A = this chain, B = another copy of it.
Amino acid sequence: MQVIQSVGQMQQFSENMRTQGKKIAFVPTMGFLHEGHLSLIDYGRKNADVLIISVFVNPTQFGEGEDFQEYPRDLVRDCEIARKARVDVVFVPEVLEMYPKDFQTYVTVESLSQPLCGAFRPGHFRGVTTVVAKLFNIVKPHIAIFGKKDFQQWVIIRKMVKDLNLDIEVIGLPTVREHDGLAMSSRNSYLTKEERDSALSLYQSLNMAKDMVASGERNVSQIVCKIKDFILSKPYTKIEYVKICSPDTLEDMETLEDKALLAMAVKIGKTRLIDNTLLEVAKEKANATDHVKIQNP
């Protein structure tokens, strides 16, 4: 396994691989790797010839007062994990090479960056799309793999790739959870024992919503109210948002139809956590009847 720090060296490595006809998979990360990252890495290993991950805590996606300084870092441990997962290259650029003093170019995905986390973290997604565009141009992958725990990020990057005609396949993989359901996140390391107990309410509320939908509830505000009450009944919790929206446009929904995204951001003490799930409305009676008809013509 190679650790590459320089942009030029990384580009040359990838260019050589491409000229040799090798397929490159890329997993961009902010490091402090966990099982969630490993599921992306495994997918990359199985679906390409060359597997590159980046470890870069990207300053432009953190706002004022956010946790850029405190964000957990452990490059030695990350490299050990990457080596065991048969990663070929860990790309670890320096902040000053990525953002030199007169840096002034940004990539923005407009509408999709406005709602949900975008409303509470102004500039966050501009930082994400800019750094991902840069990393794509440096690592030159054929496929890039993201976790759907950051569902909005995944939708935005998929849109950026389509709009800018980047010749890259964007893969989104399901959230990986702890044994009790807490979504894997590097930020879980911030939680005290008591906060972690409260943090479970995010996952539990996703299941509550699924149960409500299964019982026939279609009214979005009913579901959202119930979830908010439940989460706020736990100590240390402060809700940023709980929303049910279109998984494609991220626009608010009033009544559940077909598929909907339930997404939330909640502060547990000082730690901001996000989680989401897809709510799928079971087939309507009309279809069920059709099905019966086919079975019993």
Residues of A near any B CB (own CB < 8 A): 7, 11, 15, 18-19, 21, 103-112, 129-130, 133-134, 137-138, 140, 159-160, 163-167
Contacts and interface: CB of A to CB of B under 8 A. Distances in A.
Contact of A133 (B18, B104, B164): B164
A70 B167 CA distance: 33
Contacts of A11: 165, 167
Given A19-B21, A107-B107, A140-B167, 6 more contacts: A18-B18, A103-B163, A106-B110, A107-B164, A108-B108, A137-B166
Given A104-B110, A106-B110, A134 B164 contact: yes
10 contacts: A18-B18, A104-B111, A104-B163, A105-B107, A105-B160, A106-B108, A134-B163, A134-B164, A137-B164, A140-B167
Contacts of A18: 18-19
Contacts of A130: 164
A110 B103 CA distance: 9
